Amino acid sequence: METVFSDMDTSSCDYSFTHTDDEDSGSSLHSASPASSCGKPPASPAELQQKKRRRGRARNEATVHVVKKNRRMKANDRERNRMHNLNDALDALRSVLPAFPDDTKLTKIETLRFAHNYIWALSETIRIADQRQSKSRDAPPLLLAGLSCMGDAPSPGGDSCSWPSGASSSSSSPSYCNSDPGSPAAMDDFGYLQTDVVYSYHNFAPGIY
DNA sequence: TAGGCCATCTGGTCCT
DNA sequence: AGGACCAGATGGCCTA
């Protein structure tokens, strides 16, 4: 691109700065045209002095420019690494999600939505298992803290998903789960209606249930 | 060819 | 001051 720094006037006679800064090895702005290439002999000492001042200012401006450019390049590099890390994390997330039969790679947004729904579904599974266990044994359920209360499940009765029976009777979630806007079922952060969460999960992970 | 997805650059803002 | 984070812009690639 190089749009921001392309305004640098390297053809100017005043720009006699020859850059030797080692911190900007990748810069293409090093080749400044020497003042002698202008072809005009300096006239008076006053003019010479003025020219020196201008040259000094040009050097300062050029230095500032190079420093800015170098800083920008470093920032770009960091940003690139940051995004690569983000993508690596996304890949790691993809790797623990159920794979697709056709092996198509989920997009970023699909990965996040799928993971969101997948976590909710796993939580529901645990919760239902706990319910059944407590009914059959008449004993305290073995709750997996933090997982078993991931939200008030959207009722599967009204859609086409084949959820285990009993999933719709989830009213036992702790209050913080229901009030938490980040809770998958309490409120959908991704623009789904609650029934859509189930639907999209079902779509993304066919055959899991 | 339009639209979706992605990588990268960039400037702004916040934090340490 | 410098780094992290964020959102907008841009251009490339791919697919329907």
* Most confidently predicted of A12-16, A117-121, A165-169: A117-121
Nucleotide of closest approach to A71 (CA, C1'): C2
Q: Which residues touch strand C (CB under 7 A)?
A: A 1, 71, 74-75, 78-79, 82
Q: Which of A56-65, A133-142, A199-208 is the most confident on average?
A: A56-65
Question: What pTM, to 2 d.p., does this model score?
Answer: 0.54
CA-to-C1' span, A31 to C13 (A): 35
- The contacts of residue A25 (CB under 8 Å, 6+ apart) are none
Q: Report yes or no: A13 and A35 within 8 Å, Cβ to Cβ.
A: yes
- Helix ranges (H only) for A14-153 are 45-96, 108-137
Q: What's the CA gap between A137 and A107, in Å, rounded? A: 44
What pLDDT, on the 0 to 100 scale, is given for residue A139? 55
A67 contact to strand B (CB, 7 A limit): no
d(CA A33, CA A12): 7
Q: What pLDDT does A51 receive? A: 67
Q: Is the CB of A187 under 7 A from strand B?
A: no
Q: Summarize the confidence of residues A123-128 as an average pLDDT.
A: 96
3-state class (DSSP) for residue A189: coil
- Share above pLDDT 90 across residues of chain A, in percent, rounded to a whole number: 14
Residue with tokens 């719709």, as numbered in its chain? A168
How many Å does it take to go from CA A2 to C1' C10? 12
